[in-house]
Amino acid sequence: MTTEAVLVIDDFLLRALLGGIGVALVAGPFGAFVVWRRLAYFGDTLAHSALLGVALGFLLHINLTLGVIIVCQLLALLLFFSQRQRQLASDTMLGIFSHGALSLGLVTLAFMPDVRIDLMAYLFGDILAIGNSDLLWIYLGGGGALAGLLWLWQPLLAITIHEDLARVEGVPVTRINGLFLALIALTVAVMMKVVGLLLVTSLLIIPAATARRFARNPEMMALLACLFGCAAVGGGLYGSFQWDTPTGPSIVVAACTFFALSFLVPIKR
């Protein structure tokens, strides 16, 4: 192998690592809330709308990540208002939106014969194809989402503990919940590139669930979730190179391995 080839490989590996770590850092604190508030299915629903965002991006000739962000935000808004109806249970509602959005995305793309996309890359992620603009999206979009979450941190925790109690004590619950949904939609959209729309939720919940056993307070759980997320990205990338396996799923397998191994660590109570 020539020196140049080695450099090229190093370059895209480095970008993959940077992108993956960026996503893991954002996913940690958000994942903690997803676990505490049982929003896993909710995250899935947002992620499944990504293909529709890609189609929108092609239609409007705008950046595809921006298209995904727009559609995720619209869906979050729709979900926010649909939560107020009491006709259908929320998991039924989410199921309809989730599979509806995914199928609508696939059908819409089929109507656009000029558009050839690598479907697998969207479904399972293509971290090795991360470019500089993707990195920018991850760090600016993800950083923005994280800053927003830090700003809402205390009231969000209060709502997570008991919504009515928070309301009585003066927390603007509806506004905070709405903002939180917008932030999580942004997070899911920027995470898409790394693990793909089918696996996004896993990178939210598995590191956070792994962190639970070792955390004594909410902040510690969020930070540990970041740490386990980064470890999963590192392990997944390494494994993917070592055994030539698909990278997105390898990261998730690494995350699951850490989760399983965490039970071997004794915890004194």
Partner 1 sequence: MRVALELVRPSSGTLYRRPQLTIGYMPQRLQLDPTFPLSVKRFLCFARKGCDTATLRTALKETGAEHVIDAAMQHLSGGELQRVLLSRALLRQPDLLVLDEPVQGVDVHGQVELYHLISNIRDERNCGVLMVSHDLHLVMAATDRVLCLNRHICCSGTPAVVTSDPEYLKMYGHLALYQHDRNHHHDHGGCSCD
Interface residue list for partner 1 (CB under 8 A):
35-38, 154, 157-158, 160-162, 164-169, 208-209, 212, 215-218, 220-221
Instruction: Identify whether the C-beta of residue 196 lies closer than 8 Å to the C-beta of residue 125.
Output: yes
CA of residue 134 relative to chain centroid, distance: 15
Q: 102: buried, middle or exposed (CB in 10 Å: 19+, 13-18, 0-12)?
A: buried
Q: Considering the complex, state which of residue 128 and residue 205 has its C-beta at the smaller distance from partner 1.
A: 205
Instruction: Tell me how far apart the alpha carbons of residues 187 and 204 are, in angstroms, rounded to a whole number.
Output: 10
Instruction: Tell me how far apart the alpha carbons of residues 228 and 39 are, in angstroms, rounded to a whole number.
Output: 20
Instruction: Identify whether the C-beta of residue 205 lies closer than 8 Å to the C-beta of residue 34.
Output: yes
Instruction: Tell me how far apart the alpha carbons of residues 145 and 28 are, in angstroms, rounded to a whole number.
Output: 12
Q: Considering the complex, state which of residue 67 and residue 155 has its C-beta at the smaller distance from partner 1.
A: 155
Q: Considering the complex, state which of residue 131 and residue 172 has its C-beta at the smaller distance from partner 1.
A: 172
Query: Please, what is the minimum distance in Å from the beta carbon of residue 250 to partner 1?
Result: 26
Measured CA distances, 200 to 11, 33, 41, 43, 169 (Å):
25, 15, 11, 8, 35
Q: Considering the complex, state which of residue 107 and residue 165 has its C-beta at the smaller distance from partner 1.
A: 165
Name the residue among 110, 108, 97 with its Cα closest to residue 47.
97
Query: Please, what is the minimum distance in Å from the beta carbon of residue 174 to partner 1?
Result: 12
Q: Considering the complex, state which of residue 8 and residue 168 has its C-beta at the smaller distance from partner 1.
A: 168
Q: Considering the complex, state which of residue 116 and residue 216 has its C-beta at the smaller distance from partner 1.
A: 216
Q: Considering the complex, state which of residue 90 and residue 108 has its C-beta at the smaller distance from partner 1.
A: 90
Query: Please, what is the minimum distance in Å from the beta carbon of residue 253 to partner 1?
Result: 22
Instruction: Identify whether the C-beta of residue 47 lies closer than 8 Å to the C-beta of residue 194.
Output: no
Query: Please, what is the minimum distance in Å from the beta carbon of residue 204 to partner 1?
Result: 13
Residue that is written with structure tokens 């479904």 in the block: 123
How many other C-beta atoms can be found within 10 angstroms of the C-beta atom of residue 174?
Answer: 13
Query: Please, what is the minimum distance in Å from the beta carbon of residue 212 to partner 1?
Result: 5
Query: Please, what is the minimum distance in Å from the beta carbon of residue 221 to partner 1?
Result: 6
Query: Please, what is the minimum distance in Å from the beta carbon of residue 242 to partner 1?
Result: 33
- Name the residue type at position 87: Q
